[in-house]
């Protein structure tokens, strides 16, 4: 699953690295871009939040009960406090004040590492949509083709070959990439006060189908100093149906100036 987290972030940032199109395509892309709530394009520099996760509930959801042998592990893990820091480059989880020694506690270190990966993975999967690089940016060749339900948006350039499907209202519904890595994904968006918000994302590799790498992500949001940031996140490995549900609270944001970089004016 970690490879899929990296793949979708890599795909989205590579798409945003290369855009040349007709005037009508440029106008449609500008319209689409304006419809999405992308806080990192509106002055958000970074944010950090406390991570809330209930180990006993997670075990009950998975097994139906907490086995007596698992109680010490769950109770020890529950004492660890985490914060996550997020900026354009990705998410980083830290234990506060630091990760304790988990030696001698069965599976504790492995489970702690897995939780960290789920927190990072859920936020990194959201990041391309919060920066608006899911849509092509200057300078990738792209074009819109009208279809019965909306548009096909094709993109081609050095290291990039992908197609997005959009509804008539310009919400992205799915995508297929051949480069930089074979990847397919489906998305659903809800309407927020500042535009479309990613509600769910499902990713899969096109070369390793059935390998256990398929994952889904679900998001709800909270208002923090004028930005809508993830509040409740669920990351599910579809091959096992194991869902990791966590919440972000006590969020703090850093704001800055937005600098839009584009081609030189002719």
Extract long-range pairs of 97-106: CB within 8 Å, 24+ residues apart.
Answer: 100/76, 102/76, 105/72, 105/73, 105/76, 106/69, 106/72, 106/73
Does a cis peptide bond (omega within 30 degrees of 0) precede residue 180? yes
Tens-binned pLDDT, residue by residue, of the chain (266 aa): 555 554 555 455 454 444 444 559 999 999 999 999 999 999 999 999 999 999 999 999 999 999 999 999 999 999 999 999 999 999 999 998 888 888 888 899 999 999 999 999 999 999 999 999 888 877 778 999 999 999 999 988 777 788 999 999 999 999 998 877 788 999 999 999 999 999 999 998 877 655 555 899 999 999 999 999 999 999 998 888 899 999 999 999 999 975 554 443 33
Q: How many structural domains is the chain composed of?
A: 1
Does residue 262 sit within a domain? no
Q: Cα separations (Å) of 170 from 27, 48, 175, 200, 248?
A: 13, 31, 13, 16, 29
Does residue 266 sit within a domain? no
Reported pTM: 0.86
Does residue 263 sit within a domain? no
Host domain of residue 214:
2-255
């Amino acid at each position: 699953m970690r490879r899929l987290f990296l793949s979708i972030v890599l795909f989205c940032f590579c798409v945003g690295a290369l855009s040349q199109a007709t005037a009508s395509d440029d106008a449609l892309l500008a319209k689409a871009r304006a419809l999405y709530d992308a806080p990192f394009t509106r002055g958000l520099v970074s944010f950090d939040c406390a991570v809330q996760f209930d180990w006993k509930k997670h075990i009950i959801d998975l097994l139906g009960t907490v086995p007596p042998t698992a109680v010490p592990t769950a109770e020890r893990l529950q004492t660890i406090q985490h914060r996550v820091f997020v900026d354009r480059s990705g998410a980083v989880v830290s234990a506060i004040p630091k990760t304790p020694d988990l030696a001698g506690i069965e599976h504790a270190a492995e489970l702690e590492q897995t939780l960290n990966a789920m927190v990072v993975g859920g936020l990194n999967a959201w990041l391309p949509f919060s920066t608006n690089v899911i849509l092509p940016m200057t300078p990738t060749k792209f074009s819109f083709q009208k279809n019965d339900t909306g548009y096909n948006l094709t993109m081609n350039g050095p290291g990039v070959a992908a197609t997005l499907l959009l509804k008539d209202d310009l919400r992205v519904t799915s995508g297929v990439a051949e480069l930089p890595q074979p990847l397919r994904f489906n998305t659903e968006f809800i309407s927020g006060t500042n535009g479309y918000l990613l509600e769910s994302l499902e990713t899969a590799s096109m070369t390793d189908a059935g390998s256990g790498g398929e994952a889904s992500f679900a998001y709800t949001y909270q208002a923090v100093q004028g930005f809508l940031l993830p509040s409740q996140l669920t990351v599910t490995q579809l091959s096992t149906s194991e869902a990791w549900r966590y919440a972000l609270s006590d969020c703090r944001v850093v704001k800055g100036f937005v600098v839009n970089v584009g081609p030189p004016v002719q």
